[in-house]
Structure 1
């Protein structure tokens, strides 16, 4: 069996920037064990698997080690592939995720805008392991559906973290977002998630469903400019709509290929 494979750099307009995702276009669903093996073989932060369903598509995402509830950059990459290579006719793509419901991606000039459910935040005590792993206690801490959000005073603090990844891996969460006001954008962040096999994710769309509600309320702004400060860097525009978040970014193709399974 042959499967179309694309590797796309998401949240960037240049190859080797943003966050690379694999996109596999399937005719029908394969066993989860096979999907997990493909994702492990791709060895990227996420692989998106897409199956057409009428005028819409079903989608799911796997890291090299687990299936995840939601992945922004791989959804952006999947939409980019469908618009660019599969002849999707309309300006809107509708995805259905068995774990996150209905997700849409719309053409927005040269960029793509995703519409995702907003995360709900609650105040949280910072686990001692997190403070030790990062070397600095946050000013505030919150817990979303899957991640901790830790707030710091400056972009320089976020840039300077060199966390103990093994210790972070002991924290019961999908991952840990660290964030602060940006020097040239509204807010900056980094995302560490060794719990799902990724020490640091380059650019994380799903983390911005957590970040956007917080920063929108704190800054009193509906539309915000964000940057994720990984080595690859990534740029995002985020809009808070109450129970939904719109996340806009660009994408570029790195490779096209074919898997033989």
Structure 2
């Protein structure tokens, strides 16, 4: 029989509607004091693309406008992720809705992650939330490796695809692969065999393209889809961390001035819109979007 319980809030990030964006479960318990086996079990029970475990915040002090707390990200495979953009946005939305916090004028939340990195989320006007993440440059692959990836893309699409560029992240983003296909390939309308991307040897496989004439919906500068074997169904609805690689790439390719905000759109079935900014000097990106609460309750374990 279950002997412990914790409140939870399910949130869909980068969306203003419940059937759009990327869902995440946010469970309020101390991740540092909870065994990994328990965190994994809870993640399995929710079967969400990501589960964020957030240490509950006690009573606020008078005039307090910043919150500091711990966060951990766990996938349904039991893997702890060092970084998750949509999970962070969802956690911020859930935290701000807590009875002891809502309406108290909180302007900033600082989450301490598994590797002691601080992810900051700012509360913006009209319900928008903005978070800052590190950016990564994109490094071209050796010719033999590039040809291997091109062949996998063709298999995933079931046809020959015009691939313009393939690159991988550097530093902490060596697990991230970026594939730019031509705008004529209709990324949004393509049927993709997501299982093929389990063979790339990368945890994040992002396919991106420019926008074909007449196809813009929200003045977006680029679109993307992210495929990964560690998310349900093999495709992430809206991946914040994938943009750590995408944003610098497209800013450089389009000659966009550092610090200027642009719009990006992920064109998965659920889809999502992100207002994004790259700071080339500080090597950071900012992701700004809405988030919608879709359920709340108590889980038992």
Distance 1:15 1:67, change over 3 A: same
Alignment partners' CA distance in 1, 2:41 and 2:178: 31
Question: In the TM superposition, what are the counterparts of 1:1-261 in structure 2 within 5 Å?
Answer: 1-27=4-30, 29-52=33-56, 55-65=67-77, 66-85=79-98, 86-87=100-101, 89=104, 90-99=106-115, 101-109=117-125, 110-124=127-141, 125-126=145-146, 127=149, 128-134=151-157, 135=159, 136-144=161-169, 145=173, 146-154=175-183, 156-182=185-211, 183-184=215-216, 185-221=220-256, 222-242=260-280, 243-261=283-301
Alignment partners' CA distance in 1, 2:201 and 2:39: 25
CA contact (8 A) 1:122 1:143 kept: yes
CA contact (8 A) 2:30 2:56 kept: yes
SS at match of 1:99: coil
Q: Deviations over 1:204-259 (max 9, x none)?
A: 11111111111111122232201110111101011001211000000111000101
Q: Which runs of 5+ in 2 are unaligned?
A: 59-66
Deviation at 1:171, TM superposition (A): 1.5
Distance 1:8 1:155, change over 3 A: farther
TM-score (norm 2): 0.81
Deviation at 1:9, TM superposition (A): 1.1
SS at match of 1:35: helix
Deviation at 1:187, TM superposition (A): 0.6
Runs of 4 or more consecutive aligned structure 1 residues displaced over 6 Å after TM superposition? none
TM-score (norm 1): 0.93
**RMSD value over aligned CA atoms?**
1.9
Q: Which runs of 5+ in 1 are unaligned?
A: none
Higher strand proportion (structure 1 or 2)? 1
Computing the radius of gyration from Cα coordinates, the structure with the larger value is: 2
How many pairs align? 261
128-137 or 38-47, which deviates more: 128-137
